[in-house]
C-alpha cells in the first residue's frame, strides 16, 4: 500500500474513517468511572465526619493517603503500561481500582482488623474508621494511577499529533462528567440504601467497562475495525526514523527513568503537573466541605451547584483541547501552538481571587468563579498531557506521563495537607473565610508560575529522537 495515497485523500476532504473516535469514547467512559469512584468520599465527607468524629485534618489525612499512593503508583504505572501494553494495562488498572472503591463499604470492619493487628504488635492504633478508609483509598489509588498514562498512550497510538489535544480534551472531560454525576447519584444511593451502598454500586461500574474494552481494543496495526486509510492518517505526521533491520527475537530496549530525567522536557512536564494538579485535587476534595462550612449546605443542597460547576469544566476540557489548533492553523508547530494556548488558559484561574471577596452576594458567585478556574484547569490539563507525546517517542510516553503524574500527585498531597492545616487553624480562631481566601489565592496563581518555569526549561520545541 502506498501511504501517500490515503494522506492525499484526506487533504482533499475525503473520509479516512473514524474508529479512532470509538477508542476516544472508551477512554472517556473509563475516565468518567475513574472520577465517579474517587468522588464518592468527598461527597459523603460531611456525613462521615459527623458520624465518625473526623476533624478537617483527619479528612485531609485520608485524602492525602490517596494522593501520596497515587503519586508513587503513577511512576510505576507508566513503566508498567509501557511494558505490558495498553489493552492489558487497562484491564489490570480498572480491576484494582474498582476493588478499592468497593472496599470503602467495609472500611469499619477492615479498620477493626488493622487496629487488632497494630495493637497486638505494640504499634500506635489509628482510629478504626480512619484506618479502614486509608487502606481503601490506597488500593483505589494504585489502580486509578494507571488511567491517565494508559489513556495518553492510547491517544498517542490512535491519533495524529494535530488531533491529540482534542482527543485528550474529550476523554479528559470524562472527569467532569464523573464529577457531575457523582453529586446526583451518591446522595440518592446513600439516602436509599446507606453510604456503604454508594461505594459498592459505583465501584461495580468498572467491571462492566472492562468487558467492553477487552472486546474493542487492539493496537492500531492489529485492529481489524481500522481501515488502511485511517491507519495511514494516524501515522501521517509522525517523525520518520531511519529503518534498521531488527534481529529475530530481539526485544525493544527499555528506557530507564534516570535517562528520561536527563531531559529538560521531562522536568518541564513534571513541574507543570506538580504546580497545577494540586489545584484540581483541592477543588475535588474540598468543594463539598467549602459549601457546607461557608453556606451551611448539606446533602442534596450541593447537587445543583456542583453539577453547574463541573458542567462548566466540560467546556474547558473540550474547548482547551481544540484551542491549540487555532494557533496551529496560523502556522505554529504543535508544541508552540500548545504553549501559546496554555499561556492564555493560565490567565483564567485569576478570577478565583474574587471568590471570597464577592462571596457575600451568595453562594452562586464563588461557585461560578471557581467553575471558571476549574474549567481552565481542565483546558490546561489536556494540553500539558499532550506536550509529552509532542516531544517523546511512543515507547516512552506512558513512562514520562507517570513521572509527571507522580509529581502532580505529590503536589496534591502538599495542597491537601496545607488545606487541612489552614482550615483547622482558621476554624479555631473563628475565621474560616480567611482560610479559604488563602487557598483560593494559591489556586489562582499556580498556572502562571507553572507556565513560566515550563517555558524557561523548554523555550522551543525539540522532539526527542535518541531514545
CA 109/CA 450 separation, integer angstroms? 43
| Residue boundaries of the structural domains of the chain | 17-237, 257-459
Place of cell 492504633: 125
* CATH code, residues 17-237: 1.20.1250.20
Please state at what angle helix 432-457 crosses helix 364-391, rounded to 10 degrees. Answer: 20
**Domain pair 17-237 / 257-459, same fold:** yes
pLDDT (tens digit per residue) in 306-365: 888 888 888 887 888 788 888 888 888 878 888 899 999 999 999 999 999 998 888 899
Residues near 293 by beta carbon (within 8 Å), at least 6 away in sequence: 423, 427, 432, 436
Q: 10: phi > 0 → left, psi -120 to 50 → alpha, else beta; which?
A: alpha
Judge contact between 60 and 412, C-beta under 8 A: no
Average pLDDT for the chain: 84
CA 387/CA 339 separation, integer angstroms? 9
In this prediction, residue 176 carries a pLDDT of: 77
Cell numbers at 250, concatenated:
530481539
pLDDT (tens digit per residue) in 298-318: 767 777 888 888 888 888 878
CATH architecture for the domain at 257-459 = Up-down Bundle (1.20)
Cell numbers at 117, concatenated:
493487628
Q: Is 466 exposed, middle or buried (0-12, 13-18, 19+ CB in 10 A)?
A: exposed
Place of cell 475513574: 34
The phi, psi pair for 55, rounded to 5°, reads: -90, 175
- Asked whether the predicted pLDDT for residue 178 surpasses 90, the reply is no
pTM as predicted? 0.72
pLDDT (tens digit per residue) in 376-433: 998 998 889 888 877 888 778 878 888 888 899 889 888 988 988 898 888 888 888 8
Residues near 292 by beta carbon (within 8 Å), at least 6 away in sequence: 46, 298, 302
Place of cell 476534595: 285
pLDDT confidence band for 15 (50 / 70 / 90): low
CA 183/CA 266 separation, integer angstroms? 36
Higher pLDDT, 84 or 389: 84
CA 193/CA 235 separation, integer angstroms? 50
Cell numbers at 462, concatenated:
525539540
CA 147 to chain centre: 8
pLDDT (tens digit per residue) in 122-145: 666 678 888 889 999 999 999 998
Amino acid at each position: 500500500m502506498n501511504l501517500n495515497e490515503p494522506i492525499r485523500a484526506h487533504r482533499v476532504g475525503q473520509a479516512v474513517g473514524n474508529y479512532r473516535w470509538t477508542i476516544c469514547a472508551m477512554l472517556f467512559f473509563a475516565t468518567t468511572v475513574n472520577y465517579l469512584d474517587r468522588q464518592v468520599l468527598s461527597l459523603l465527607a460531611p456525613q462521615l465526619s459527623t458520624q465518625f468524629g473526623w476533624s478537617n485534618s483527619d479528612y485531609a489525612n485520608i485524602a492525602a493517603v490517596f494522593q501520596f499512593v497515587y503519586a508513587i503508583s503513577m511512576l510505576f504505572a507508566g513503566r508498567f503500561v509501557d511494558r505490558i501494553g495498553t489493552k492489558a494495562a487497562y484491564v489490570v488498572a480498572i480491576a484494582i481500582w474498582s476493588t478499592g472503591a468497593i472496599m470503602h463499604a467495609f472500611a469499619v470492619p477492615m479498620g477493626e482488623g488493622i487496629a487488632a493487628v497494630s495493637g497486638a504488635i505494640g504499634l500506635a492504633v489509628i482510629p478504626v474508621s480512619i484506618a479502614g478508609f486509608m487502606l481503601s483509598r490506597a488500593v483505589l489509588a494504585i489502580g486509578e494511577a494507571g488511567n491517565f498514562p494508559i489513556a495518553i498512550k492510547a491517544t498517542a497510538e490512535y491519533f495524529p499529533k494535530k488531533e491529540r489535544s482534542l482527543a485528550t480534551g474529550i476523554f479528559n472531560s470524562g472527569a467532569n462528567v464523573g464529577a457531575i454525576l457523582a453529586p446526583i447519584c451518591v446522595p440518592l444511593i446513600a439516602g436509599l440504601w446507606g453510604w456503604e451502598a454508594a461505594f459498592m454500586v459505583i465501584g461495580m461500574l468498572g467491571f462492566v467497562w472492562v468487558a467492553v474494552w477487552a472486546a474493542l481494543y487492539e493496537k492500531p496495526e492489529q485492529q481489524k475495525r481500522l481501515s488502511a486509510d485511517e491507519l495511514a492518517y494516524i501515522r501521517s505526521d509522525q517523525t520518520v526514523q531511519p529503518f534498521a533491520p531488527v534481529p529475530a527475537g530481539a526485544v525493544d530496549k527499555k528506557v530507564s527513568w534516570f535517562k528520561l530525567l536527563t531531559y529538560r522536557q521531562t522536568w518541564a512536564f513534571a513541574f507543570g503537573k506538580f504546580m497545577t494538579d494540586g489545584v484540581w485535587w483541592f477543588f475535588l476534595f474540598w468543594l463539598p466541605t467549602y459549601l457546607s462550612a461557608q453556606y451551611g449546605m448539606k446533602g442534596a443542597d450541593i447537587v445543583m451547584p456542583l453539577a453547574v460547576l463541573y458542567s462548566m469544566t466540560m467546556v474547558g476540557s473540550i474547548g482547551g483541547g481544540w484551542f491549540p489548533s487555532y494557533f496551529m492553523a496560523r502556522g505554529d508547530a504543535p508544541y508552540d501552538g500548545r504553549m501559546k494556548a496554555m499561556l492564555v488558559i493560565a490567565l483564567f484561574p485569576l478570577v478565583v481571587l474574587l471568590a471570597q471577596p464577592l462571596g457575600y452576594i451568595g453562594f452562586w458567585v464563588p461557585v461560578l468563579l471557581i467553575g471558571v478556574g476549574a474549567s481552565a484547569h481542565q483546558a490546561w490539563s489536556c494540553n500539558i498531557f499532550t506536550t509529552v507525546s509532542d516531544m517523546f517517542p511512543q515507547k516512552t510516553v506512558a513512562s514520562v506521563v507517570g513521572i509527571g503524574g507522580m509529581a502532580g500527585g505529590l503536589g496534591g498531597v502538599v495542597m491537601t495537607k496545607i488545606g487541612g492545616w489552614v482550615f483547622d487553624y482558621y476554624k479555631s480562631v473563628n475565621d474560616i473565610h480567611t482560610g479559604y481566601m488563602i487557598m483560593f489565592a494559591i489556586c489562582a496563581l499556580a498556572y502562571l508560575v507553572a507556565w513560566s518555569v515550563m517555558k524557561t526549561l523548554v523555550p522551543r520545541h525539540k522532539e526527542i529522537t535518541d531514545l
